[in-house]
Amino acid sequence: YYGLSMRAEGVRFQWKDEKSHSAQSFDKERVQKLFDGLKGKEAVISSVKKAPKRTEAPLLYDLTELQREASRRYDYSAKETLNIMQRLYENHKVLTYPRTDSRYLTADILPTIKERIRACSIGPYKLLAGRLINQPLPAKPSFVNDKKVSDHHAIIPTEQFVQLDHMTIDERRIYDLVVRRFLAVLLPPFTYEEIRLTMTVDGETFTARGKIVKDQGWKAAYSRFTLE
């Protein structure tokens, strides 16, 4: 298939067929004719639409979701991830029980949250964790739901003091995933303004979409010091 794009003021606009509302066409001759005919023509902004948007932090990890993430990021097999988790749980005692199918916490865990934040307030997490210790917990945490926890709650840090230099690189990677997700759910939503622009060039429509970040929110937990 074929399409057209236009760059104006550093923004890339995509052509959209008025009849099919598609940005793609199988008619090469038609697209080529449009390309030749539109070059050098004046583009006029015909529409600007703005809308506030927000996204909540992803849920805490259960074992399956953690295995998926470790596979995507580090190419670990499900068994490798479980073995690493077992070491972090049994030997280092810095993460909770790994064999869980829940992504929520029970209400009785809430009083321990500050101690868990304090325990992981080290290295790359120190600034963010330090900030969270001095802030009140969310009034109605979305990650707390007793009805969605059967035998074991989601995987989170324990209150055990952490020594990163005692961990292997594999252990640090899995610990990093869990801690960042734990800190993320304690932060506010990521908020931004979505902007949709429509340009008209000699009767043809081109559109572009962008966003202006208002508050990093939970994404601050992932914005810096990512382990490779």
Name the H helices within 60-150. 63-74, 78-90, 113-119, 126-133
Helix (H, G, I), strand (E, B) or coil at 81: helix
Q: From the centroid of its chain, how far is CA 63?
A: 18
The residue whose two tokens read 């236009």 is 6
| Cα–Cα distances in angstroms (integers) from residue 16 to residues 6, 30, 131, 204, 209, in the given order | 11, 13, 46, 8, 13
Q: Which residues carry out catalysis?
A: 97
Q: How many CA atoms lie within 13 A of 141 on its CB side?
A: 25
CA distance 130 to 128: 5
User: Are the C-beta atoms of 6 and 15 separated by less than 8 Å?
Assistant: yes
**169-185 and 126-133 are packed helices; what angle lies between their axes, rounded to 10 degrees?**
30
